[in-house]
Amino acid sequence: MAQAFTREIDDAPLPPLPERPVSPHLNLVTRRGAALIEEALHTLKAQIGATSEKDREAILARDLRYWFARRATMQVVEPDRAADTVGFGTTAVIRRRGKVERLRIVGEDEAEPPKGLIAWTAPLAKALEGGRVGEIIHFVGGGKDEPIEILAIETADA
């Protein structure tokens, strides 16, 4: 093997990790989202204390900085229990493409679209915002105009 393809120093430090990008949007969270941030901080602190691998420790420290920043900027938003429109913290029961779906509007860090949790900054959440039961929203996604009917709005925080 040519000398040019070997490392001169096997234990040379890796280049610094890039920081995790932080959203430029307000850090709105539900009570559940605030608890998830606290849980992430607790877990990362425990993992840092338990590792002796420098590379692993660098990754954990970077993630810990991210979650500290998210905790420092979080704004817990309680859903309006009397809401008659779709908004942050509410669950919209919709009919889309012939199927009924439940979509809860949540903070960016707690979004899990396959579980029906969509970020308030997502285009679909923005399209549904302010919608009322019985209303048909026209959502343009993927270049197509898609009618979405709002069947119900639930405001319980889970």
Q: pLDDT tens, 44-96?
A: 999 988 877 888 888 999 999 999 999 999 999 988 777 799 999 999 999 99
48 and 99 in one domain?
A: no
Q: pTM for the full model?
A: 0.82
CATH assignment of the domain containing 96: 3.10.50.30
Q: Please state, in angstroms and rounded to a whole number, the distance separating the CA atoms of residues 152 and 79.
A: 15
- Give the pLDDT band (50/70/90) at residue 152: very high
52, 66 Cβ separation under 8 angstroms: no
Domain around 97: 91-154
Does 96 map to a domain? yes
106 and 58 in one domain?
A: no
- Give the pLDDT band (50/70/90) at residue 3: low
Whole-number pLDDT of residue 11: 63
